[in-house]
Structure 1
Amino acid sequence: MTTASAHPALRGRPVYLDHNATTPIDPAVVEAMTPYLTREFGNPSSSHTYGAAAHVGLEEARRQVAGLVCAPAGAVVFTGSGTEADALAIRGAVLAAPPGRRRHVITQGTEHPAVLAACRELEDLHGVDVTYLGVDQNGQVDAAEVAAAITAHTVLVSVMHANNETGTIQPIARIARATRSAGVLLHVDAAQSAGKIDIDVDALGVDLLTVVGHKLYAPKGIGALYIRPGVTLHPLIGGGGQERGLRAGTENVAYAVGFGEAAALAARSLAGGETQRLRGLRDRFERRMETLLPGRVHLNGHPTQRLPNTANVRIDRAPALALLANLTDVVVSAGSACHAGRDEPSPVLTAMGLSATQALAAIRVSLGRWTSPDEVDDASAHIAHAARARST
């Protein structure tokens, strides 16, 4: 089975339903980047004509990325990845806190590994206290528990906008009310949600927000951090003072331009109803799976408060890795790309109360810009066939 997708990277290949891992680069993004890989090669910090052209491209990209999350352009700093943006937000906020006071961070146990790693480094190297909150059976953290965990020493709360495995959306606005009233900074990793649902940093009430290029049809190796004006961070990398002195090193102009174009495309797509289209396809997939495998398919994650493109389901009597090994015409995931290939239960799913057996039967289906109804129907039929083969 091959796709009829208009994207050249997907034609004649298995149906790609792993967009939460990464996305194909939009051809319009490649087109926007090309001049900055060829003619406009200047250093954006140079004052001559070549540098000026690169600087214009870089600042337009900054404006476009900021526009996707309804932020002012000057509040966005480019990074080399989402992981780096998370580290800059978390380590940067804590290390910028006044010296001589005990420092405390609050996060949740189901965060992305980048957030958890940054928190553990602060614990190990800087003696920072970190509280790891649990989640309910739907994968949501309780905003009241976040508020209750805040102490006089709390510097930062870091809670992702939407989980990369289940798509569950966290109650960020309610959490923000608690952090604001306590004078605590709030960081949100929006790597999975940006471009899939509307984001307004002021409406959410966040102080720091991570966005990632390769999750919304831009290249890998480019990310960004929104920093609310007035928030002070300690830089991860010192040097020539680029990116407001927070991320030294000559900027990757071509990739930033690609990120900017991808953000602009995403904003137009959202305005044109992309969220509703993806939700319809996701629901179509789930209905077909329930019809094809009656009583065997169970949703992992919140039934309504989740990303429109994400379905994390477990299939009784069909271990995920064995199931995926028999899928030659469809590409889905047995978990996040950060844990791919491990025959271990997902920490996200076990934190939600699933047994190891249940968690090992979970697959993640994540739809994208070029996913069609026919591909959803074909994919569900092939997954169901492979699941039946595993249980006979």
Structure 2
Amino acid sequence: MYYFDHAATTPLHPEVIHKMLEIMQGPGGNSSSIHAYGRAAKKELSHARDLISGALRCKPGELLFTSGGTESDNAAIIGAARAQRRQGKTQLITSAAEHHAVLHTCGWLQREEGFSLSILPVDHEGRVDSLQLQEALGPQTALVSIMHGNNEVGTLQEIEALGELVHAAGALFHVDAVQTLGKMPIALDELPVDLMSFSAHKINGPQGAGALYISSGTPFEALQQGGSQERKRRGGTENIAGIAGFAAAVDICVNKMNFQQPFLDKLRKRWVELLAQGLGEDAIAVNGHPVRHLPHIANISFLGIDTESMLMNLDMAGIAAASGSACTSGSLEKSHVLGAMGLSQEIIDSAVRFSFGLGNTLEELEEAAGIVVRIARRLRESA
């Protein structure tokens, strides 16, 4: 089996498993309880918060633990938008290439709560034009949400420049950094960002755990009511094992970033080279920005071959890949990201996303590339 779908989810790191088992096999304890078991759980929670906030260079109190990227996106957008509405600001701005957790949430606020919504186009490489953002900004702008690294094509946005424009207009800036955590350096004490979303299962941590950075002083209304957990910003007993596993994964990926990023870049570059050599450079198209991209995602169109046929044959050959974002790959919907980029129907209809990570090797890619080339040749000949 060849697992090339790390952008969807990643295998648990052995050290993460060890940490989570240590907690799950222990006596238990609710971090809100005042007895010894509760204090032990609270200690684990505080340690995780300190570790992750240190890696992200933010204050521990600025970190809100969630169930993952989707909840973090929802909480950031809805929580900040509702708070900003109290100041008379009701415009939301996002891009057409965002994850559905952002696009659908903004659309819901527009339909159900009366916010206005401006959706910025992206160019053929998937990037937002800063001039178009500047034109869309106004005194009514409450929040702008632009992702850091695209989950389908890997294109990186210039969040520093975009954030400065947003702040100059007096609005809040939210960034979905689910795919960039552990792949790109993040220094929240230097970035013009008010809210940033993260997820554990993209960095060899557990599914069902994530975090939302909320800069000190950022207007925010809690979505989930209940107890006073997470500084009254998210009621409910914290998932101690999941959060501890998340912290262990962050510790590993941040400490190994200087080694991991160049290796992932090497894997991606070699994968594209092997497919181009085997099929011919005119037979494939690499989608996304040629330079400003995440190191682990390669979105490739096999021209003349339908995505569904390609994925089915890859699966039968033991190769796991995807047609786009993990949330739509099961239904094989056409990529809204590639459509937003204005690419041809031929490229959209033949696109496959390969994404690499823990466990992948150059030797493995050499083997798998040969299989992919044979499949593509066979499908092209039978078309």
Normalized against structure 1, the TM-score is what?
0.94
Distance between the aligned counterparts of 2:221 and 2:240, measured in 1? 23
Distance between the aligned counterparts of 1:98 and 1:17, measured in 2? 43
Give the match for residue 68 of structure 1: 55
1:40 deviation in Å?
4.3
2:353 is the counterpart of 1:364: yes
Give the match for residue 346 of structure 1: 335
| 8 Å CA contact 2:89, 2:142 repeated in 1 | no
| 8 Å CA contact 1:346, 1:359 repeated in 2 | yes
Residue 214 of structure 1 is aligned with which of 201, 208, 213? 201
Distance between the aligned counterparts of 1:341 and 1:46, measured in 2? 42
Give the match for residue 150 of structure 1: 137
Moved more, 139-148 or 220-229: 139-148
Give the match for residue 6 of structure 1: none
2:269 is the counterpart of 1:280: no
Residue 46 of structure 2 is aligned with which of 41, 59, 66? 59
Q: CA RMSD in A?
A: 1.2
Distance between the aligned counterparts of 2:323 and 2:55, measured in 1? 30
1:345 deviation in Å?
2.2
Residue 336 of structure 1 is aligned with which of 325, 350, 364? 325
Moved more, 354-363 or 188-197: 354-363
Residue 191 of structure 1 is aligned with which of 164, 167, 178? 178
- For 1:115, the aligned partner's letter is V
Give the match for residue 311 of structure 1: 298
1:198 deviation in Å?
1.1
| 8 Å CA contact 2:8, 2:325 repeated in 1 | yes
Do the aligned partners of residues 248 and 390 (structure 1) sit closer, same or farther apart at CA in structure 2, a change above 3 Å counting?
Answer: same
Distance between the aligned counterparts of 1:121 and 1:298, measured in 2? 35
Distance between the aligned counterparts of 1:71 and 1:158, measured in 2? 20
| 8 Å CA contact 1:321, 1:341 repeated in 2 | no
Distance between the aligned counterparts of 1:54 and 1:219, measured in 2? 18
- For 2:129, the aligned partner's letter is D
| 8 Å CA contact 2:228, 2:234 repeated in 1 | yes
Distance between the aligned counterparts of 1:98 and 1:15, measured in 2? 48
Moved more, 164-173 or 316-325: 316-325
Distance between the aligned counterparts of 1:77 and 1:364, measured in 2? 31
Describe the SS at the equivalent of 1:322: helix
1:217 deviation in Å?
0.7
| 8 Å CA contact 1:326, 1:386 repeated in 2 | yes
1:20 deviation in Å?
0.1
- For 1:45, the aligned partner's letter is S
Distance between the aligned counterparts of 2:332 and 2:213, measured in 1? 36
Q: Which runs of 5+ in 2 are unaligned?
A: none
1:232 deviation in Å?
2.2
Superposed CA deviations along residues 229-281 of structure 1, whole A, max 9, x for unmatched, are 1112100111101101111001011100000000001111114x211110011
| 8 Å CA contact 2:180, 2:294 repeated in 1 | yes
- Counting matched residue pairs gives 378
Distance between the aligned counterparts of 1:292 and 1:76, measured in 2? 47
1:343 deviation in Å?
4.4
Superposed CA deviations along residues 111-154 of structure 1, whole A, max 9, x for unmatched, are 10001121011111110001000000000011221121111100
| 8 Å CA contact 1:40, 1:54 repeated in 2 | no
Within-5 A mapping of 1:1-392: 14-99=1-86, 101-271=88-258, 273-294=259-280, 295-327=282-314, 328-392=317-381
| 8 Å CA contact 1:329, 1:382 repeated in 2 | no
Superposed CA deviations along residues 46-77 of structure 1, whole A, max 9, x for unmatched, are 11110111001011111222233222222100
* Sequence identity (%): 38
| 8 Å CA contact 1:343, 1:360 repeated in 2 | no
Normalized against structure 2, the TM-score is what?
0.96
Q: Which runs of 5+ in 1 are unaligned?
A: 1-13
Distance between the aligned counterparts of 1:100 and 1:260, measured in 2? 36
| 8 Å CA contact 1:15, 1:379 repeated in 2 | yes
Moved more, 336-345 or 102-111: 336-345
Describe the SS at the equivalent of 1:203: coil
Structure with more of its chain in helix, by fraction: 2
Give the match for residue 10 of structure 1: none
- For 2:337, the aligned partner's letter is V
Do the aligned partners of residues 344 and 86 (structure 1) sit closer, same or farther apart at CA in structure 2, a change above 3 Å counting?
Answer: closer
Distance between the aligned counterparts of 2:109 and 2:330, measured in 1? 29
- For 1:305, the aligned partner's letter is R
Superposed CA deviations along residues 293-312 of structure 1, whole A, max 9, x for unmatched, are 11201110000101001110
1:204 deviation in Å?
2.8
Describe the SS at the equivalent of 1:365: strand
